Structure 1
Amino acid sequence: MAVTIFLLIVAAGAILFIYQTFLRDKWIRQKPFPAQHEAILSCNLPIYPALGEDQQHRLKQLILLFLTRKQFYGCAGLEITDEIRITIAGQACLLLLNKGWQTYPKLLSVLVYPSAFRAERDQMQDNGTVAIARHDLLGESWSNGKVILSWDDVEKGVSDFGDGHNVVLHEFAHQLDGLSGSTNGAPPLRSNSYQSWARVFTENFEDLRHRSQRGLATVMDQYGTTNPAEFFAVATEAFFEQPWQLQKARPELFAELQAYYRLDPREWQRSTEND
């Protein structure tokens, strides 16, 4: 009897927590979006004006949730401003536009450097020893709840939203990928989607490697040949920034990403062209 009562208390506590979280998130989504924040969005997220009114409203709701749940930290003397927070959150939440209200549940903080930052990694040498290698990075996504970004490169990404390179989209695609338990190029999918996803992504990954090795033109950045996780992140960059080119060059891959993200970025480009 005591065990039963204990379990009932635990269950009731869990239900209460979920309900309180639901109410809190609903309250956050209903808050007015500051006009100065929308001005930043319009300026620093070039496709924002092309979104439909409902999509703009939903994106702003997601941004409010994101900013409430995640902490931003400036590194190497960088002061975090509203522009930094809104610019990063706006792009990160673009990936979530039609994917419910979960804003990267494993992510706790976003660290922002003024420019490319140096990271140290253990690297195996030919003689079997391990040495410390130093690399200058534009961004990193960690499984322990951190995303690290270079603000210079965030700005470059939004200044040419259409070149297929975007460090925010790239690193937050890794966060989505990691929700499956490991970052391996296969984010959580519907149960009947894994077989098609695996076939299409494997075929396109191998084709990108083939074309890259032979110096042939590719829509996707050759960094996508590094491993399946990087392929998914690079494919996400191309999907959002160069959807027409990706759909033409890799129609099956585009269709898989369209089904996963539940949207078609070509609509936004078409809208921009018609303005």
Structure 2
Amino acid sequence: MQSIFHRFVSLFTDGKKAASAYQPEEGLIDADIFNNYSYIIGNVFSYFNDLPTPAKWRFVKRTHEFRKQKQFHFIGLESSEDTAILVSSSAVQVTFGLKNYQLSYFKDIYILADAYHMDSDNELYIGHVAPDGIYLSWKHFLYGYEYKNDNINVAVHEMAHALLYNNFFAQYGMDAQFRMNYERFSNSTGPILADVIARRRSYLRSYAFSNMHEFWAVSVEAFFENPAELRRNMPDLYDALSNVLNQDPGSKTKLLKPES
């Protein structure tokens, strides 16, 4: 798996070089942590590379804090701090516009080498969210960030599920503002779904229409994977997602407002 990771190094700019010229606000992380995280994240996340420098500091600080709060378990592959940082970054990408971003209900994240079975289920999974933690296939995590235009990114998909679980099913860590905005999002999707039924086609892949939870997660994937095409094909959905996540991933700054 690591050989796949190293292929990314030549694809993106080195975030370390751009870091030193900017002096962070007081209370943020030190420059060494910023440079190290920026190098790791910037080799994989074009989302991060597009951010202006002040927003990169904010992104790295959040990733560093998220990483410190989680216990990572590696199944079928060697423990890797780089992997933990990258998975943490995927959570921060989804929650970057929100005030409460740490998905604090979840203490454990399980990274598996490849697709896996759950219990006696014969179906193969590449990720899922359960009360005991967030599960991801590392092979498919890398695939999601290497191929950016297929609207499939298992990390974004599962972090979107985790965000809902954290705010609607967990006993603590709720973000009242997100809950309110998500309820508005849910109420706005009726006309969107009716239009899909009438047209008998959708820009979203068919799995989105399994249930409302999958509609949310698949929509968030498309929102980050290919924002321009989602906006062109489903502008109402794009606007609804922008409002609930406080983000416009098609823009350089990404955030609609400095903080939700």
TM-score (normalizing by structure 1):
0.73
- 2:230 corresponds in structure 1 to 246
Q: Give the secondary-structure state (helix, strand or coil) at the position aligned to 1:244.
A: helix
Which residue identity does 1:157 align to in structure 2? Answer: G
Q: Give the secondary-structure state (helix, strand or coil) at the position aligned to 1:73.
A: strand
Which residue identity does 1:178 align to in structure 2? Answer: Y
Which residue identity does 2:245 align to in structure 1? Answer: Y
- 1:110 corresponds in structure 2 to 109
Q: Give the secondary-structure state (helix, strand or coil) at the position aligned to 1:100.
A: coil
Which residue identity does 2:134 align to in structure 1? Answer: V
CA distance in 1, matches of 2:91, 2:180: 27
- 2:75 corresponds in structure 1 to 75
Contact 2:167 2:179 in 1 (8 A): no
Give a deviation string over 1:163-210, Cα, whole Å, max 9, x none: 211111000100111133249xxx965687566423322332454466
Matched, 1:223 2:218: no
Contact 2:106 2:132 in 1 (8 A): yes
CA distance in 2, matches of 1:164, 1:57: 27
Q: Which moved more, 1:192-201 or 1:153-162?
A: 192-201
**1:54-133 matched pairs, under 5 angstroms:** 54-76=54-76, 78-120=77-119, 133=121
Give a deviation string over 1:63-83, Cα, whole Å, max 9, x none: 01111100110013x112122
Alpha-carbon spacing, 1:202–1:263, altered in 2? closer, same or farther (3 Å): same
- For structure 1, list consecutive stretches of 5 or more residues without a partner in the other structure: 1-26, 121-131, 271-275
Contact 2:181 2:244 in 1 (8 A): no
**1:225 to partner: Cα distance:** 0.8
Alpha-carbon spacing, 1:238–1:154, altered in 2? closer, same or farther (3 Å): same
CA distance in 2, matches of 1:112, 1:139: 9
CA distance in 2, matches of 1:175, 1:198: 17
Which residue identity does 1:70 align to in structure 2? Answer: K
Aligned residues: 225
**Higher relative contact order by CA 8 Å / sep ≥ 6: 1 or 2?**
2
Of 186, 189, 194, the match for 1:201 = 189
Which residue identity does 1:151 align to in structure 2? Answer: W
TM-score (normalizing by structure 2):
0.77
- 1:263 corresponds in structure 2 to 247
CA distance in 2, matches of 1:258, 1:72: 30
Which residue identity does 1:252 align to in structure 2? Answer: D
Give the percent of matched residue pairs that are identical in Structure 1 and Structure 2. 21
User: What root-mean-square deviation, in Å, do the aligned CA atoms of Structure 1 and Structure 2 show?
Assistant: 2.8
- For structure 2, list consecutive stretches of 5 or more residues without a partner in the other structure: 1-25, 255-260
